[in-house]
Amino acid sequence: MTMLTPVLALIVWTMIIWIWMYATRIPAMQKAKIHPQKAIHPGSLNTLPSEVRAVSDNYNHLHEQPTIFYALAIYSFLVGVGDPLNVWLAWGYVAARVAHSLVQIVLRQVALRFYLFAAGSLLLMIIAARNLIALFAV
């Protein structure tokens, strides 16, 4: 297992959320009689139920901070800092993001979601710091 395996896992999770998003959004749009063309502008689907919007909000969140994770994991792999500790930290980040998704979509608890976001952020900071230490140790 390399530093890139957690990257693949988070990509697969993002695709699962994509499927979940459309599996809930399309029926909700049909039920509300919203023509797809009405979705041309951001926010035009705000009339959909909150539980439907939560899935699409999470899908969007999986394209925000995780982009830093992807870059950092690839950098770590390429420069040879994908050691076992960084791999475990990367898996921890993926676990935090999956838990974040489930809390946002299923439990809908903002405070718990924030703690998971903060934990994931801390893991990214540790991986970045370990890369900096390795860079300057040369």
Mean pLDDT value of segment 40-60: 93
Identify whether the C-beta of residue 73 lies closer than 8 Å to the C-beta of residue 7: yes
Percent of the chain with pLDDT over 70: 99
> What domains appear along the chain, each with residue ranges and CATH number?
4-136 (1.20.120.550)
- Say yes or no to pLDDT of 42 above 80: no
Q: Which residues of 38-66 are buried (b: 16+ CB within 10 A; e: fewer)?
A: eeeeeeebeebeeebbbbbebbebbeeeb
Identify whether the C-beta of residue 6 lies closer than 8 Å to the C-beta of residue 85: no
- Say yes or no to pLDDT of 6 above 90: yes
Mean pLDDT value of segment 67-82: 97
Identify whether the C-beta of residue 2 lies closer than 8 Å to the C-beta of residue 82: yes
pLDDT value for 136: 95
pLDDT value for 39: 86
Mean pLDDT value of segment 63-91: 97
